Amino acid sequence: ILNVEQSPQSLHVQEGDSTNFTCSFPSSNFYALHWYRWETAKSPEALFVMTLNGDEKKKGRISATLNTKEGYSYLYIKGSQPEDSATYLCAFTVGNQFYFGTGTSLTVIP
Amino acid sequence: ETGVTQTPRHLVMGMTNKKSLKCEQHLGHNAMYWYKQSAKKPLELMFVYNFKEQTENNSVPSRFSPECPNSSHLFLHLHTLQPEDSALYLCASSQDLDSDTQYFGPGTRLTVL
């Protein structure tokens, strides 16, 4: 079993604040790194897939970076809105196996 | 309509009951997965099916029995479960085993009394 760690476990931010959180994964045998957004009582929704060291992806106010050599990825949210409140999961893949972190739970306070 | 649906959304069962969870995907994918999420733990892969054939069984106890009658449907049959099996059970699908992205259903919240 490969260990994928996410930090922090949870955070609360004010509407309009920017925030970021971290996903750490083993740097050997890297294939891809995924970010998912998971709202309560809904399906996890894929945000990004990144495969190359130095990759940066952006979707609206959300962006992600990848460092495969040191084994981490950052997810950034600019100008947080209440609708951004969700758990953000990362998953590291080796071959076709997904290894998930426990997620960062974000609450944006209006 | 979401691409992956799961029924029921909530299930309470006794340890001697037999029940089944159902997953259906409308995405034309060939691979389907069952995951378990226990409180404060990461998603754990249970089973993988590719073109209806089971390709992965991650040491799951035999009281969980999967069935994949076709590429669109996946079942998880439950029998004589234990209270520690209470968890959220998520189904996912992907185009094939080497696909970049898995698409998830909303899960079934299972409580075993």
Mutation target for B interface from A43, A47, A88, A102: give the one with most B CBs within 10 A: A43
**Chain B: residue whose CA lies nearest to A43:** B106
Distance (Å, rounded) from C-alpha A17 to C-alpha B105?
31
A45, A46, A100 ranked by CB distance to B42: nearest: A100
How far is A44 from chain B, CA to nearest CA, in Å? 6
Per-residue pLDDT of A30-52, as tens digits, reads: 889 999 999 999 999 999 999 99
Provide CB contacts within 8 A for A64, sequence distance 6+.
A35, A47, A48, A50, A56, A57, A58, A73, A74, A75, A76
pLDDT of residue A23: 97
DSSP track, B11-36: EEE-TT-EEEEEEEE-S--SEEEEEE
Distance (Å, rounded) from C-alpha B20 to C-alpha B7?
9
Per-residue pLDDT of A7-33, as tens digits, reads: 999 999 999 999 999 999 988 878 899
Contact A101 B106 (CB under 8 A): no
Grouping H, G, I as helix, E, B as strand and the rest as coil, residue B86 is coil
pLDDT of residue B56: 79
Q: What is the band of B2 on the pLDDT scale with cuts at 50, 70, 90?
A: low
Residue B1 has pLDDT above 80, yes or no: no
A32, A44, A99 ranked by CB distance to B104: nearest: A44
Distance (Å, rounded) from C-alpha A63 to C-alpha A21?
11
> What tokens appear for A92 in the block?
């590291």
> What tokens appear for B59 in the block?
């040491």
